[in-house]
Chain A
């Protein structure tokens, strides 16, 4: 039995994002769930399922969903799990929620991400001021990597991007086009951390190198905050406060192997399952919300979803077609590069906003079908949702 249109997203909760310090990770999770419940017109007593993807600042995150249950006094849940497939987790949580609901295990599931890796600003006694906004939390390394100075995910991902450039001629200019396009979307999104700050291609090229070929603006933000969605059955969804966003199709793809050799995400595999379930083709997609830990990830996933051929992602984006006013709206809230970084919940939330028609200045007119992706590790894990405003 297909899961097409069996579930719907009925509540969306987004806390303030970015350099906000009024909660720890658990506190942001609670705030996000409360916002999502209020958005749906539900109370915590309506929840009987809880799925959590804990960010890197959670203590003892392995039992995170239980921590969160206790912290918000949830009783008698029928589904609880802490999940981690990296950036693919958000879409995967929603998939497992629909599966459990359809199987009769539970009725109403909160899917939650939160994190608080950023520390409040300190007095700049050392003249460096590394506290505020530091991405150092992600610069972990150990063993041989550390001995050779290969620190953090930025560095390892950069080697894969470099390989793509070497094989296919992808350019820094083309990666920059993605950063500029997402920034232009963020400039239309009041919740975006970079809402007030425009970005030109010159700004991009002048931004400091992190790990070549990645400039600063090739890399996603690091954000404090929480984000939750409430998933329930399509039947229950009809009676709730907001127009349902139906989960039309879902899939996952985890290719294995060495990303340096494949230069390919799991998107092609996940798309096959998700598009067949939703009975859609690329031509039916109105808005595309791709997991964007890096500009490069967007480029690769555009290839792997078949918007262009493998290796042609650079020329494909170079004409600005993914920017506001372009023919293929991608990451319409500014994405994780320019809006906020809630792992895969950022693209999920923007798809919900677009399909509800709540995008205001950035609303894509007539958007009824959205493609959402999550991508974890270094092109390691992938999940896909096809969401729709109508069944």
Chain B
């Protein structure tokens, strides 16, 4: 029996550094070359200063659960065995937010503010995606200090 795979995102040219980094086990995000604001996903211009200059940098991989939802319905057969599962919005220590999943955290234990750190999961031969696990104790304090207020 063929296993049903989860939807695999297309590796677009603008997001190539993100996917290449993930394939190496690293989380890479875009940063404005002028004002230094980090952003994710990739955009043509910085929404803060409108500069077109951008670099890619490796993020530290730590963050917190900013918000989440627990999905109870099945919209794709590959998730049928996982409901209810959590989809989380992670705020990285660098500032940007990204959608992801947690590993080794039951949906009932997900809470806002939970410190997390990145791990990687292979989706296909070419596509590897970041997910997050509960941060080890040492990482938590550093992340809490780095988070922007609000």
Q: Which A residues are closer than 8 A to B by beta carbons?
A: 136, 139, 141-152, 155-156, 158-160, 162-163, 166, 208-214, 258, 260-261
- Say whether A166 contacts B99, CB under 8 Å: no
- Say whether B87 contacts A149, CB under 8 Å: yes
B84 contact set on A, CB distance < 8 A = 209, 212
A382 to chain B, nearest CB (A): 20
- Say whether A163 contacts B112, CB under 8 Å: yes
Q: Which B residues are closer than 8 A to A by beta carbons?
A: 6-10, 41, 66-73, 75-76, 79, 82, 84-85, 87, 89, 97-101, 112-113, 123, 129, 150
Beyond the given pairs A155-B87, A209-B72, A261-B150, 12 more chain A to chain B contacts, judged by CB atoms under 8 angstroms and listed by A's residue number, are: A143-B10, A144-B41, A146-B9, A147-B8, A148-B87, A149-B76, A149-B79, A151-B76, A152-B75, A162-B68, A209-B70, A213-B69
A211 to B85, CA, bound (A): 10
- Say whether A148 contacts B67, CB under 8 Å: no
A142 to B12, CA, bound (A): 13
Query: Closest chain A residue to B107 by CB distance?
Result: A212
- Say whether B66 contacts A163, CB under 8 Å: yes
- Say whether A143 contacts B9, CB under 8 Å: yes
Known: A146-B76, A149-B76, A151-B75. Contact between A212 and B70, CB under 8 A? yes
Chain B CB within 10 Å, residue with most, of A151, A160, A258: A151
Number of A-B contacts (CB under 8 A): 92
A158 to B70, CA, bound (A): 9
- Say whether A162 contacts B71, CB under 8 Å: no
Query: Closest chain B residue to A140 by CB distance?
Result: B75
A223 to B150, CA, bound (A): 38
A262 to B9, CA, bound (A): 29
State which of A147, A209, A260 has its C-beta within 8 Å of the C-beta of B7.
A147
Q: List 16 A-B contacts (CB under 8 A).
A: A141-B7, A141-B75, A147-B6, A148-B129, A149-B75, A155-B87, A156-B69, A158-B69, A159-B68, A159-B69, A163-B112, A166-B67, A166-B112, A210-B73, A211-B70, A212-B84
A143 contact set on B, CB distance < 8 A = 9-10
A58 to B101, CA, bound (A): 34
State which of B72, B89, B150 has its C-beta within 8 Å of the C-beta of A208.
B72
- Say whether A210 contacts B72, CB under 8 Å: yes
B75 contact set on A, CB distance < 8 A = 136, 139, 141, 149, 151-152
A273 to B129, CA, bound (A): 46
A284 to chain B, nearest CB (A): 34
- Say whether A149 contacts B66, CB under 8 Å: no
Known: A136-B75, A149-B71, A210-B72. Contact between A260 and B6, CB under 8 A? no
B127 to chain A, nearest CB (A): 8
A156 to B75, CA, bound (A): 14
- Say whether B67 contacts A160, CB under 8 Å: yes
- Say whether A211 contacts B9, CB under 8 Å: no
A332 to chain B, nearest CB (A): 30
Query: Closest chain A residue to B18 by CB distance?
Result: A144
Known: A158-B69, A159-B68, A159-B69. Contact between A149 and B97, CB under 8 A? no
State which of B9, B10, B85, B113 has its C-beta within 8 Å of the C-beta of A149.
B85
